[in-house]
Structure 1
Amino acid sequence: MHRVGYLMTEGFQVMSLATQAVFEFANIVAGEAVYRIQNFSIHGGTVRSSLGMHIDTLPLGAPGLADTWMVTGTLTPLTAPDEAVLASVRAFVEGARRTAGLCTGTFVLAHAGVLEGRRATTHWAYAKKLREMYPQVEVEEDRIFIVDGPLWTSAGMTAALDMALGMVEKDLGAEVARSVAHKLVMHQRRSGGQSQHSELLALSPRSDRIQAALDYARRHLNRSLSVEELAGVVHLSPRQFTRVFTAETGQSPAKAVESLRLEAARLLIEQSRHSLDVVARETGFRDRRHLREVFIRGFGVPPQAVRRDARRVVSA
């Protein structure tokens, strides 16, 4: 049985508890109690969440209470917790199979000094500050979650769900992880190397008409997707469509489609075994050379580097 312990401090982010559902449904899919989940605090008793909800916890005591530790974050991550908390985190890393920082819980790991010389991520809003405070940590702010040896760290709280699912995949296999994601109605299981950034979310048009054009583009990325075609989908002239689209999204239709192509290509590279020729064809690039050129311009690294990083996360 895998024993998962959650370390909670006053003001912990209440969404940390959502990750427990991943382990709960892993038990359901497996048909047995593969995971045992328990909540802990330094002295035990009631701990107040960021939302004001209180939860009962067990006291930290003898070693070996859990083989996986999930360290919750707070809304004030720049302030280090008590030394007793930091000492416990150091002990987790020393004796447990893995220790994870959920969202700003990464700061707790950094405060404890266990991330020096390691790769880590956290919520994008705090990543710059983490890098400034702890230059010895290799902060990768544009990642959903990162696994570096026994240390796991995640971005914003929904990314912690992906990280927990990554643990399930590591423990029980990809098929169980996919089934858990399906039962939790997670649209897709994001790999750790995936960007925190979403192009559709970033574009966020104001009108249903432009949103419909973007949805159409996303579903037909293997086509050329001219302005005339997109304008016809929403019954506008090409000139009117370009004007409205640019006003609502801040980008030209061509630039937005390229961004959607890049995001789709990155997902395929991370999550599939398709060759780069197939990825280029499926996402609307002329060929793998064109894909590489646009990929480097958009992400600063070639497609092969992203694929290697994704495979390293899975095999870690």
Structure 2
Amino acid sequence: MERLIVIVLFDQVDLLDVTGPPEVFALLRRELDGETGYRVVLAAETLEPVTTSAGVRVLPDITFDELASRRIDTLLVPGAVEVDEQGRVRAISDPAVVERVRVLAGQTRRVASVCVGAHILADAGLLDGRRATTHWSTAQQLAAEHPAIEVDADPIFIRDKDVWTGAGLTACLDLSLALVADDFGEAAALRVARQLVMFLKRPSGQSQFSVSLEPVSTTRRIDDVRHYISRHLAGSLTVVDLAAHMHVSERQLTRVFKTELGMTPAAYIESARVEVARNQLETTDHTLERVASLSGFNTTDTLTRAFRRQLDTTPTEYRNRFRLN
């Protein structure tokens, strides 16, 4: 049975949010020899061309009013941002679009947002009491404006029952593949991923960004200890060691990490070690024992447990997906 997917259009919407998912869904039809799949329509207030953030104009297929009596399988909501004079990015949403999304969600089996489209879902009240993600650059905005939402800026997408939220722009492909897998199975999603020449299917727990790309902290002292950690990952890095290096008490060290980085010293160290292990798995043929040693985990069991916590996968599965050569 053909499933109706509606993608919401509005002025200054991010172009890739709109065009990425349909490519995934179209390839599914080809992989299944046209026997089943999705019907994708672009919906807007009118049938006039919509100007995207890239300046490319897109023609809607249908108006919101024409969808009033239709049963929708999946409602996909892209996003839009504005940049102020200081270069700060902020998600924006039109109240009229928010209201349309709220109404359409009531006649939809499954709702999903792409990138900062999560802000529109949030403004429509669809994420209250749920765990959700968005692009890392607007995650703090989402959390501040909607305290009823459990915002997690790390994963590339999150599923909370019938509501899905995706992260950065290219994560729209991962989210779309996850929707395909949910509807037609992992094998079908894998076939589509191969057609897209993607690194197979990234798990939802895959991080949006690495430890090295985290926002710069606000004090020189915490930067110093982060650099110290990066130089000594293969060695012993206890809270006692770090507190002595910073000339503070263990309690104060933990307080500084939570205030500056939003995590405990142990969680930060584990994230940094996972980052090193990821790089080793992507670029070398080292055994898991060697990777565990170089990254400071020492044993493959410890390495595996950390990967399951951080990335929701195993080192072997990660290497199979992301090996670069």
**Partner amino acid, structure 1, of 2:26:** E
Counterpart-to-counterpart distance in 1, 2:291 and 2:75:
39
Equivalent residue for 1:182? 194
Summarize the Cα distance change of 1:192–1:289 in structure 2 as closer, same or farther, 3 Å threshold: closer
Distance 1:40 1:65 in 2: 14
**TM alignment of 1:114-133, pairs within 5 A:** 114-133=126-145
* Conserved 8 A contact 1:266-1:303: no
Q: For each residue in 1:204-239, what CA deviation from the matched residue of structure 2 results, as whole angstroms up to 9, or x when unmatched?
A: xxxxxxxxxxxxxxxxxxxxxxxxxxxxxxxxxxxx
> In the alignment, what sits opposite 1:72?
78
One-letter amino acid of the structure 2 residue matched with residue 7 of structure 1: V
Against the structure 1 CA distance between its residues 51 and 100, is the aligned structure 2 distance closer, same or farther, given a 3 Å change threshold?
same
- 1:30 equivalent in structure 2: 32
Correspondence list, 1:215-234, <5 A: none
Partners in 1 of 2:27 and 2:232 — Cα distance?
Answer: 41
Question: Paired residue for 2:107, among 90, 95, 111?
Answer: 95
Whether 2:11 is the aligned partner of 1:5: answer: no
Taking a change above 3 Å as real, the CA distance of residues 266 and 106 of structure 1, as seen in their structure-2 partners, is: farther
SS at match of 1:45: coil
After the TM superposition, which of the residue ranges 57-66 and 43-52 deviates more from structure 2? 57-66
TM-score (normalizing by structure 2):
0.66
1:18 to 17, 20, 23: 20
For 1:51, the equivalent position in structure 2 comes to: 54
Gaps of 5+ in 1: 204-249, 268-278, 296-301, 309-316
Which amino acid letter does the alignment assign opposite residue 82 of structure 1? Answer: P
CA 266–159 in structure 1, closer or farther in 2 if over 3 Å, else same: farther
The answer to whether the 8 Å contact 1:64/1:96 transfers is no
Secondary structure of the 1:104 match is helix
Q: Give the letter aligned to residue 41 of structure 2.
A: Q
2:185 to 159, 167, 173: 173
Alpha-carbon contact 2:4-2:39 (below 8 Å) kept: yes
- TM-aligned CA deviation for residue 130 of structure 1: 0.7
| CA contact 2:205–2:310 (8 Å) conserved in 1 | no
Q: Distance in 2 between matches of 1:113 and 1:36?
A: 27
In structure 2, what is the Cα distance between the partners aligned to 1:18 and 1:87?
24
* Counterpart contact for 1:118–1:137, Cα < 8 Å: yes
What is the one-letter code of the residue matched to 1:70?
L
Which runs of structure 2 are paired with 1:127-166 in the superposition (5 Å)? 127-166=139-178
Q: Structure 1 vs Structure 2: percent identity of aligned residues? A: 29
* CA-based RMSD: 3.1
Tell me the CA shift for residue 254 of structure 1: 5.3
Distance 1:266 1:167, change over 3 A: farther
Contact 1:9 1:72 in 2 (8 A): no
Judge conservation of contact 1:124–1:155 (CA < 8 Å) in 2. Answer: yes
- SS of 1:165 mapped into structure 2: helix
CA contact (8 A) 2:230 2:272 kept: no
Q: For residues 193 and 266 of structure 1, what CA distance do their matches in structure 2 show?
A: 17
Structure-2 separation of matches of 1:138 and 1:148: 11
Question: Which one-letter code corresponds to 2:32 in the other structure?
Answer: A
| Rounded Cα–Cα distance in structure 2 between residues aligned with 1:291 and 1:306 | 12
Q: Deviations over 1:231-276 (max 9, x none)?
A: xxxxxxxxxxxxxxxxxxx954856994445447999xxxxxxxxx
- What corresponds to 1:241 in structure 2? none
Normalising by structure 1, report the TM-score.
0.68
Deviations 1:140-195 (A, max 9, x none): 00010011111111001111110000000011111111111011000231111211
**C-alpha deviations, 1:265-308, integer Å up to 9, x for none?**
999xxxxxxxxxxx964843433564378x3xxxxxx8468649
Q: Is the Cα contact below 8 Å between 2:134 and 2:168 reproduced in 1?
A: yes
Pair 1:24–1:253, CA change in 2 (3 A): farther
